[in-house]
Amino acid sequence: MDYDAGDLKIEGNNYFVQYTKNFKAYDKITDNDKNKCFDFAYDMSYGNIGKQRNSRSGGSVHRTKGQIFINTFQGKMAEFALYRFLENKNIQVNAPDLRKHKLGIWDSFDFECQGKIISVKSTKKYGNLLLLETKDWNNNGEYIPNLGNGNSKYDYTVLVRFNPDGEMIMRDSGLLLQREDDIQSEIKRLLIETICNKDWEYDFPGFIYYSELVKMVRQKRIIPKGAKLNKNAKMDAENYYFQVGKMHSIIEMYTRDIKQETDDRFRFKRKCPMCGETLTLRQGYSWFWGCEGYKRGCRYNEQLEKYKANKI
């Protein structure tokens, strides 16, 4: 059954989130992954090796190098967070792409896994909305910039939240809104000290399926440009929204609801870490993950309890 984005409370030009999930850290970005993300974001902003858009689709605010850097850094960390999560569940997927593209060229998608396309979005720890700029999507839920390459439909859109707030750190350090003429020669060292040396925790508030993205678009779940979100943030561009309290738990990407007799959703297949055969859900005294290599002597199993939604 498809989920619904949920109604926002609207008072004049103020839009208020009604369905939330508290941030509960799942893990933190490893130093090695963090350094890769830092180098990528630096090169795509201050380093001028690659290029990112300096404004949102439909937006009027032009991003500074500081804003491009922290947005790119957080976005790439989100990809590594999901990559490590899937890897830890023995779901094979390629590592995030670290190639630096010129302006107008970008990755077609973040991940392809078992024939499914995954898009990863990121926000701050107190974020409770998946936001997608309306000018980037058509009425069929297709990502317009990818219409020509066959990768315009995302089977999953996953949201990742981070603590601390990167933009706030950059703003407090005077680095977020700097004009290019004011950027210090030692900017890389300053960014390493203020950003890269921090511990970055993350959680997975949820994901939506492609069919739910289409539903969101066709129901016109929109926050208009110029509106105030929770009386604080002013929207720079018109966005579709999906409230995190209405999203699927991340474990549903590979685990069905054992209370349901039938399951018509695709679930990612997990591999046994001992023999490489597929893990399947089985029921004994309780539900557990068992290996299909059992008849060939593999006795690997995991209790299902460790994958309860409130653990994620």
pLDDT tens, position by position, 119-165? 999 999 999 999 999 999 999 999 999 998 888 999 999 999 999 99
pLDDT number for residue 307 = 40
The three-class DSSP label of residue 210 is helix
pLDDT tens, position by position, 60-73? 568 899 999 999 99
Pairing of β 14-16 and β 228-229: parallel
Looking at residues 174-195, what average pLDDT do you find?
95
Q: Where are the domains of the chain?
A: 9-253, 270-311
pLDDT tens, position by position, 103-132? 555 555 789 999 999 999 999 999 999 999
pLDDT number for residue 62 = 80
Closest CA to 41 of 158, 170, 171, 146: 170
Burial (0-12, 13-18, 19+ Cβ within 10 Å), 310: exposed
pTM of the model: 0.92
